[in-house]
Amino acid sequence: MDDTRRLRNAFGAFATGVTVVTTKGPDGTDLGRTANSFSSVSLSPPMVLWSLARSSSSLAAFRDADHFAVHVLTADQADLSARFAGKDPDKFAGLAVDRGVADVPLLRDCTARFECRTVHRYDGGDHIIFVAEVCDHHHAPAPPLIFHGGAYGGLAPIGDAGG
């Protein structure tokens, strides 16, 4: 096995949720990409981060945008994850969207959503790391979609963690 594959497998041991990050391109196009690099950062002020591959065809649009929205997917939204990770140029076809701050497209029926304003862009090797302030958020509790070892799954509760 080559080194990149071994590293990718090791990174994949870290189970994450799955998000779709959306923004409005400079030409008014709606853009979205599936991302599991999302992380909460700060409570006060509220801040989050995610990273995007420099190779992404949407890099310039996300880099230049002031605002984006993060949608945390539910266990029954694996199809939405695949859609926004795929090659179809019109990823929003047939989807109902609402409009958020700066006209950013908002997807429906996610378990959490964060409307954000980018405050820092950092070099992250072959990715760019976006750190953003949360302008608004919404939460509707639901079982989350999980990504682990390159595959989707759901939560398997292991009992009362106490506290």
Nearer CB in complex with ligand FMN: 52/134: 52
Asked whether the CA dihedral 86, 92, 96, 97 is positive or negative, the reply is positive
**Minimum distance of ligand FMN from residue 17's CB (angstroms):** 9
**Minimum distance of ligand FMN from residue 79's CB (angstroms):** 12
Sequence letter at residue 151: A
Q: Which of 12, 30, 46, 53 binds ligand FMN (CB under 6 A)?
A: 53
Contact 51, 103 (CB under 8 A): no
Contact 22, 106 (CB under 8 A): yes
x/- mask, ligand FMN, residues 30-49, rule CB under 6 A, reads ---xxxxx------------
The Cα-based distances of 159 to 82, 141, 142, 146, 162 in angstroms read 31, 19, 18, 18, 9
Q: Which of 18, 72, 73, 106 binds ligand FMN (CB under 6 A)?
A: 18
CA–CA dist 159, 26 (Å, integer): 48
Residues 72-131 touching ligand FMN, rule: CB under 6 A, are 81, 85
Binding site for ligand FMN (CB under 6 A): 18, 33-37, 51-53, 56-58, 81, 85, 147
